[in-house]
């Protein structure tokens, strides 16, 4: 059914896998549309109690927005692209009424790091690499890093990551609180499934309201 993602639902957990490994799972328009649609399905499916987001292949979670779609964009087009991404994916994930955990298995750059940050929390394999390299392309992050990154890691690290554009390792991401756990690659999905299975044992409204209250609190 989908061309750019895979979905699998079992034991109350829906795993959505970004599936363009030959392009480092970069977020093109089609993937953004399909991810938005898959989230809508998971939202309506009462058997789903938690969602895991991950990337196909051994190298990338998501290496950012698809740069090849940038070449023709002027400022209005860039703004429209960011708005669509927010509505279909980033804000939808943040406001999603069920917990969503990112399993970061490789490069999480630009929109990929932003996608992981929209999730409730992130766990990473030792191979994961995080970064906001937009400045190196002469643009600013358009998928929420300017808001979510300082909230997660504090203003200093957020500014350093966005101003320098340099990637950080999984271990550094753990030190600054961008991820909560780093595990060997072979163990990543087992670790995620253990956490998601834990969530699936509770009445759905418990994590749902906990998430809502945390977000309301963060908004002040």
User: Among 34, 66, 114, 120, which residue sits at the site for ligand COA (rule: CB under 6 A)?
Assistant: 66
114 makes contact with ligand COA (CB under 6 A): no
Show the binding pattern over residues 133-152: x = contacts ligand COA (CB under 6 A), - = does not: xx--x---------------
**Which residue among the candidates 10, 30, 72, 134 is catalytic per the annotation?**
134
Is 43 a residue that touches ligand COA (CB under 6 A)? no
Q: Does 26 bind ligand COA (CB under 6 A)?
A: yes
Exactly one of 14, 38, 109, 196 binds ligand COA (CB under 6 A); that residue is 109
Angstrom CA distances, 178 to 66, 127, 148, 208, stand at 23, 15, 10, 22
Long-range contacts of 6-12 (CB under 8 A, 24+ apart): 6/56, 7/38, 7/41, 7/42, 9/42, 9/45, 9/47, 9/48, 11/197, 11/200, 12/47, 12/48, 12/49, 12/50, 12/196, 12/197, 12/199, 12/200
Among 22-30, 48-56, 93-101, 211-219, the segment contacting ligand COA (CB under 6 A)? 22-30
**Residues forming a β-bridge with 168:** 130
**Positions in the binding site for ligand COA (CB under 6 A):** 23-24, 26, 59, 63-68, 107, 109-110, 133-134, 137
Q: Give the catalytic positions in this structure.
A: 114, 134
């Amino acid at each position: 059914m989908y061309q750019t993602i895979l979905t699998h639902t079992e034991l109350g957990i829906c795993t959505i896998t970004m599936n363009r490994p030959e392009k480092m799972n970069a977020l093109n328009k089609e993937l953004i549309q399909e991810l938005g649609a898959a989230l809508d399905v998971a939202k309506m499916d009462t058997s789903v109690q938690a969602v895991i987001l991950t990337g196909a292949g051994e190298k990338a979670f998501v290496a950012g927005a698809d740069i090849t779609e940038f070449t023709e964009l002027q400022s209005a087009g860039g703004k429209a692209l960011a708005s669509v991404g927010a509505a279909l994916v980033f804000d939808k994930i943040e406001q999603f009424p069920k917990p969503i955990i990112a399993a970061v298995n490789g490069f999480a750059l630009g929109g990929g790091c932003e996608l992981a940050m929209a999730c409730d929390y992130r766990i990473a394999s030792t191979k994961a690499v995080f970064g906001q390299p937009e400045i190196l392309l002469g643009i600013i992050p358009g998928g929420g890093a300017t808001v979510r990154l300082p909230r997660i890691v504090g203003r200093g690290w957020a500014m350093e990551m966005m101003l320098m554009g340099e990637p950080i390792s999984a271990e550094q991401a753990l030190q600054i609180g961008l991820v909560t756990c780093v595990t060997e690659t072979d163990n990543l999905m087992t670790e995620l499934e253990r956490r998601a299975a834990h969530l699936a044992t509770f009445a759905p409204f418990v994590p749902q309201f906990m998430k809502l209250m945390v977000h309301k609190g963060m908004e002040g």
